[in-house]
Structure 1
Amino acid sequence: MVPYGGFWWRVLAAIIDGIVLQIAWSVISGVLGFGWMSEGYMTDFSGGGAMGASFYQPAGISLVTNWLYYALMESSKFQATVGKLAIGLVVTDLEGNRISFLRATGRYFAKILSAMIMLIGYIMVAFTARKQGLHDMLASTLVYKTRDPRELETGADVFA
């Protein structure tokens, strides 16, 4: 039986994905000219209370970038993001099959709900039988640990 991807494995994958996305966002924001000191990006502290439209543009682009990264990667033949691939996790439906782009999209946006309730939706992974977070339950998905990352060096296959 293949073990479920537990809490700490998923935290490690999230850290790796965060680094990958930060690098991607740095490149995108540099190309598009967004930066911390861009006109209108910082809050207007003069009392007017208005923020320029350019404050919302980077947030919108970041949301779309993150959504496409997670949904495309998890619904691809890899069934995982770069972080999950690095440590040997895959995302499946409840029968162990590859998920669709639509289901991966639902899972991504359900993660926002998991985060909004004081991260309890993520913490649930540590305490549920099949190591599912709220977003996994809502999207009817599972995360499996498919290999031990230490075996990647030798090329050994756990299931051979």
Structure 2
Amino acid sequence: MNRDDEQRTEENVHNERPFSEDQIRTNHTIVDLEKEASTSNQQNLEDKETLASNQTLELTNNHQQVDLYAYAGFWIRFCAYIIDVLVIVSLRQLVISPIVGFLGVEQNSGMFSVQNILSALVFYLYFVLMTKYFNQTLGKMIFGLKVIPLKETRLSWQTVIFREWIGRYISATIIILYIFVAFSPKKQGVHDYFADTTVIHENYLLKNASVS
């Protein structure tokens, strides 16, 4: 090979080398873009799978939570209420009669008589205080029943007052409204609907909670 041929060969190699390097860089760029696209698609797929898994888990937990509750029906709540009435009658005899006798107030049957006002206070305070601090009255304790809120983590004063004062006054005024307990899905009375509460079997709840 003469000198001219060698010079032409070197020039061709020199001219081809930049083109080859540019092509390599372009290929690397295409590969990188494909990798990024593949990683992004995989991440999106994993996010969708995680979201679906969380939704399934949430639905399962909600279903299990509902299954934990055994709602107390009409008759067992009626029996608990009878016991509470007997307790209230006893409290009236222990508290109201001595006060009325001490004050020398004449006992009469008027709606706004001192005796009736004190009797109403004893009646409603009994239900309000027992439900607020124990979630159950003495009658409910005997039968293993408990009042729970449906939209709160614990019973607030507002909920208890709506249930045990306003709602119970309406139910006590129109006695037939108590029959709602027998037909509602969660065994709620009118006073339960007012306060978003219901009554459950406490022992059944504790038994299932300990198993789970």
TM (norm. structure 1) is 0.76
Number of paired residues? 139
- Residues in 1 aligned to 2:85 and 2:140: alpha-carbon distance in whole angstroms: 12
Matches within 5 A, 1:56-75: 56-75=113-132
Matches within 5 A, 1:103-122: 103-108=159-164, 109-117=166-174, 119-122=175-178
- Residues in 2 aligned to 1:86 and 1:98: alpha-carbon distance in whole angstroms: 22
- Cα pair distance change 1:15/1:82, threshold 3 Å: same
Equivalent residue, structure 2, for 1:124: 180
Task: Answer yes or no: is the 8 Å Cα contact 1:72–1:101 preserved in 2.
Answer: no
Equivalent residue, structure 1, for 2:85: 18
| Residue type of the alignment partner of 1:143 | V
**Structure 1 regions of 5+ residues with no counterpart?**
44-50, 149-156
State whether structure 2 residue 141 is matched by structure 1 residue 92.
no
State whether structure 2 residue 194 is matched by structure 1 residue 138.
yes
TM (norm. structure 2) is 0.59
- Residues in 1 aligned to 2:105 and 2:151: alpha-carbon distance in whole angstroms: 50
Task: Answer yes or no: is the 8 Å Cα contact 1:121–1:135 preserved in 2.
Answer: no
| Residue type of the alignment partner of 1:140 | D
State whether structure 2 residue 181 is matched by structure 1 residue 158.
no
Bigger shift: 135-144 or 91-100?
91-100
- Cα pair distance change 1:22/1:65, threshold 3 Å: same
Task: Answer yes or no: is the 8 Å Cα contact 1:17–1:83 preserved in 2.
Answer: yes
Structure 1 residue 39: Cα displacement: 6.0
Bigger shift: 128-137 or 105-114?
105-114
TM superposition outliers: structure 1 runs of 4+ over 6 Å:
none
| Residue type of the alignment partner of 2:207 | V
Say which one has the larger Rg. 2
SS at match of 2:147: strand
Equivalent residue, structure 1, for 2:11: none
Q: Bigger relative contact order, structure 1 or 2, given CA contacts below 8 A and separation 6+? A: 1
Task: List per-residue Cα deviations over 1:25-48 (Å, max 9, x = no partner).
Answer: 1001232135xxx764236xxxxx
**Structure 2 regions of 5+ residues with no counterpart?**
1-67
Cα RMSD after superposing both structures: 2.4
More helix by share: 2
Task: List per-residue Cα deviations over 1:106-136 (Å, max 9, x = no partner).
Answer: 112211212323x232100001110001110
Structure 1 residue 63: Cα displacement: 1.3
SS at match of 2:186: coil
Structure 1 residue 95: Cα displacement: 4.3
- Identical positions, percent: 32
